[in-house]
Amino acid sequence: MSTMQAEQALAAGRYAAIKLAPYFRPVLARMRFVANNDVPTAGTTAKGICYYNEAFISTLNAKECAFVLLHEASHLWLRHHARTAHYGADHGEANCAQDRAINPSLLAMGLPAPKLDGKPCCLLPKDINAPDNLSWEEYYTLAREAEKSQAPKPGQGKPSNAPGKGNGPGTPDPNGKPSKGPRGVANGQCGACSTGKDEPGQGDPADAPTDGELERASKAVSQAMVDAEKSKRGSVPGGFLRTAQAALTPPQVRWNQKLRTAVQATLRAVATGGVVSSYTRISRRQWGLGYGVGSPILPTYRAPKPRVAVVLDTSGSMRQADTVKALSEIAAIIKLTEATFIACDARVYDKPRTVKRFRDLLPLLKGGGGSSFVPAFEALKENPCDIVIFLTDGDITVPSSNPLPPSVKVFWACINQGYGSHAPTEAYGTILKID
Ligand SMILES: [Zn+2]
């Protein structure tokens, strides 16, 4: 084994991958390859840095290496790391389910799976008696159901097909988890590009591709697959093609309708939730009883006015087109109700301001720096609101737990569906994907 052998194997694999599946070029072009012999096989970060074991890679022929590269590129194309976090899935089980969703399409392309300790390193749907071409979320659920149904009842021992018993190293068990033998790429251990969880020693350098770049590359792969199929140039496996078509299909409900409906519902809920009485104004019904000494004083009643805050991500990652989209939505929101506006990149530039008209917004658009909503949350603590809408490309840090009172409705309006590693979370907000 030598460094040169591994590099030659990688180059041959890359050539074979691009020749066989040119539609993967946008993602493959952004992947970087770094030798790291602490990694058992190969693992890729969420930013496309592929750490590989030189001995493992050196053993692969061009087609096996293309299998590994396209497998890792598929995790990046499908943005699995973000979907695992969004789904709240167990990292290891999600990795296995995603491998089952990817591998059948690679085998259908005629690529052989690499071998580890003489056994194919390749989780497949049939391991859990499931059909090919389901989504990873479906394999995840099926594997969990199988696990539950096979769990030993009290008083019974381990089932005969329990993990680690007789399956041999690297062989998956029917419960959806690989056995205790060595795991590897395409067999439940593919790195943070699948799980979203960084592996020790497999970090991202500062100049790694951004989430926005990878998101755009992912869309380009889907588009290239659909185009290749239309023009009959190159054949795209059915599983990949269906996924690409689904990724490019606009959502049934436009996000801005969803946002406006949600805002209007919350406005109504707040407005009808409590009518407060006040003696600071004269009631309109007071005239019937007369004014002055001897006349009882009637209170005035009014519905509380919901307080809406809008926070715009003005960080450097927001493209001009994203900001234009966001501003048009803010304009629609302030037609419904006046709102407190905050522009935030990694700091809040002006004190939160009430905006009633679109032109009030323009002088407040400041930013271009880092990406963190934490200062915006601090500003919101001092400016109570009932609804807060964050408009962002998703590539921004948010607090891990909600610093606002639980009664405050939080909406994350995410442009281009991009997610960073500390991205908007459903833990305390509703994510609305902006197409
Ligand atoms: Zn994988």
Cβ–Cβ < 8 Å for 322, 215: no
Cα–Cα distance measured from residue 148 to residue 141, given in angstroms and rounded to the nearest whole number:
11
Domains: count for the chain: 2
Tell me the H-state helices in 197-284: 211-230, 238-248, 255-273
Residues 6+ apart with CB under 8 A from 424: 390, 392, 394, 396, 398, 412, 414, 431
Looking at the domain assignment, is residue 95 inside a domain?
yes
Looking at the domain assignment, is residue 36 inside a domain?
yes
Residue 109, pLDDT > 90, answer: yes
Residues 396, 261 share a domain: yes
Residues 217, 264 share a domain: no
Distance 395 CA to ligand 1 centre (A): 24
Residues 146, 205 share a domain: yes
Distance 354 CA to ligand 1 centre (A): 48
Residues 6+ apart with CB under 8 A from 335: none
CB atoms inside a 10 Å sphere around CB 169: 16
Find, among 119, 117, 139, the residue nearest to 129 by Cα: 139
Distance 188 CA to ligand 1 centre (A): 6
Tell me the H-state helices in 279-356: 320-336
Residues 320, 205 share a domain: no
Distance 194 CA to ligand 1 centre (A): 6
Q: Sign of torsion, CA 75 77 80 82?
A: positive
Residue 155, pLDDT > 50, answer: no
- Type of residue numbered 263: V
Distance 92 CA to ligand 1 centre (A): 10
Two tokens at 241? 């093609």
Tens of pLDDT, residues 384-426: 888 899 988 887 888 888 899 988 888 888 876 554 445 777 7
Q: In the prediction, which pLDDT does 331 show?
A: 78
- Type of residue numbered 200: P
CATH number at 270 reads: 3.40.50.410
Q: In the prediction, which pLDDT does 61 show?
A: 96
Distance 228 CA to ligand 1 centre (A): 24
Q: In the prediction, which pLDDT does 387 show?
A: 87
Residues 341, 242 share a domain: no
- Lowest pLDDT segment from 125-134, 317-326, 351-360, 362-371: 317-326
Note down the domain range covering 328. 255-274+304-434
Residues 230, 178 share a domain: yes
Q: In the prediction, which pLDDT does 214 show?
A: 92
Q: In the prediction, which pLDDT does 176 show?
A: 46
Residues 367, 322 share a domain: yes
Two tokens at 145? 């159901």
Looking at the domain assignment, is residue 49 inside a domain?
yes
Residues 194, 261 share a domain: no
Residues 75, 28 share a domain: yes
Looking at the domain assignment, is residue 359 inside a domain?
yes
Looking at the domain assignment, is residue 280 inside a domain?
no
Q: What is the pTM of this model?
A: 0.57
Tens of pLDDT, residues 197-212: 888 888 888 889 988 8
Looking at the domain assignment, is residue 269 inside a domain?
yes
Residues 341, 210 share a domain: no
Tell me 301's DSSP state: E
Residues 160, 115 share a domain: yes
Taking residues 132-155, report their average pLDDT.
76
- Backbone dihedral angles phi then psi of residue 342, each to the nearest 5 degrees: -130, 130
Q: In the prediction, which pLDDT does 164 show?
A: 32
- Lowest pLDDT segment from 103-107, 201-205, 242-246, 329-333: 329-333
Residues 194, 326 share a domain: no
Residues 6+ apart with CB under 8 A from 177: 92, 93, 96, 143, 163, 188
Cα–Cα distance measured from residue 12 to residue 14, given in angstroms and rounded to the nearest whole number:
5
pLDDT tier for residue 299 given thresholds of 50, 70 and 90: low
Looking at the domain assignment, is residue 23 inside a domain?
yes
42, 68, 57, 18: CA torsion to nearest 10: -130
Distance 176 CA to ligand 1 centre (A): 14
Looking at the domain assignment, is residue 282 inside a domain?
no
Longest Cα–Cα distance in the chain: 103
